[in-house]
Homo-oligomer: A and B are copies of this chain.
Amino acid sequence: MKLAVAVVLLAALVASSHASSRVDGPPFPLPIHLLRPLSGSAGHPLIGVSCESWRVGVEANNVRDWKTIPRTCEGYVGHYMLGDLYRQDSALVTAEAANYAEGLNLQGDGKDVWVFDIDETTLSNLPYYAHHGFGVELYNGTSFQAWVMTGEAPALPESLGLYKKLLSLGIKIVFLTGRAEDKRNVTAHNLKMVGYDTWEKLLLKGSNVSGSTVAYKSGMRQKLIDEGYRIVGNMGDQWSDILGEPEGDRTFKFPDPMYYLS
């Protein structure tokens, strides 16, 4: 592909960069102080950056502690979630994971496990979020739990493919979810209905558990290790699913621009 234009653009970049070192700030796209704070803000408009940059910032764990997506990004996130790119992004992650898993030297003693989160990692709540602004509305526990209780969440097709691949390699599956223990039956039924028909453990959150997701999930992973399991892989849509020792031998961040759990 020819990039003749690129050289002109590059010259402009170099020139503007050198120029900016002589004045008191970068001229493009906007001085930093004009960019609205993004983290922790609820529904604020983005100024100076696109919704695409915001989404990539979420995936790279640069944008943290947000309560809702930026108000101006409802359409963008909706189209992303329902369009081809979300599926491609999902396919890339699961292909990387499958490729990694195929290269493992497994011991074959039944102690190699893969930890999967559930919501937005193996099951999709998109039918719910499509009716609730794709994350632009503040989380509503009552309506979300009512949706969970329907047991009708579809499988994320790429994750289901990975699940089957891992099983075929002899890796056992552990589901580790922030869903509460009282959702055990509906969750197990929902998983089976859409094709996740076997697992080593389905770990839900006890009613006595408090604290952050990182503390809860890393504690549960430590318990698996203490029971003699080797966590060869760990996949979740939230950074809080995959940060915190023991993380597992390798972690995978499944895409999710709709909500943030610390």
Contact = CB atoms under 8 A, between A and B. Distances in A.
Nearest to A47: B95
Specify how many copies of this chain sit in the oligomer.
Answer: 2
Contact of A93 (B57, B87, B99, B251): B57
Contacts of A24: 164
Contacts of A79: 3, 6
Nearest to A74: B1
Contact of A49 (B28, B62, B64, B95): B95
A17 to B, nearest CB: 4
Contact of A6 (B7, B26, B78): B78
Contacts of A95: 32, 35, 37-38, 48-49
Q: What secondary structure prevails in chain A residues at the interface with B? A: helix
A9 B33 CA distance: 40
Nearest to A159: B26
Interface of A: 1, 3, 6-7, 9-10, 13-14, 16-18, 20-22, 24-33, 35, 37-39, 48-50, 52-54, 56-57, 59-64, 74-75, 78-79, 82-85, 87-89, 91-96, 98-100, 124, 126-127, 130, 154-158, 160-162, 164-165, 193-195, 251-253, 255
Q: 9 shortest A-B CB distances, which residue pairs?
A: A1-B75, A21-B195, A26-B157, A17-B154, A35-B95, A37-B99, A59-B60, A53-B88, A53-B92
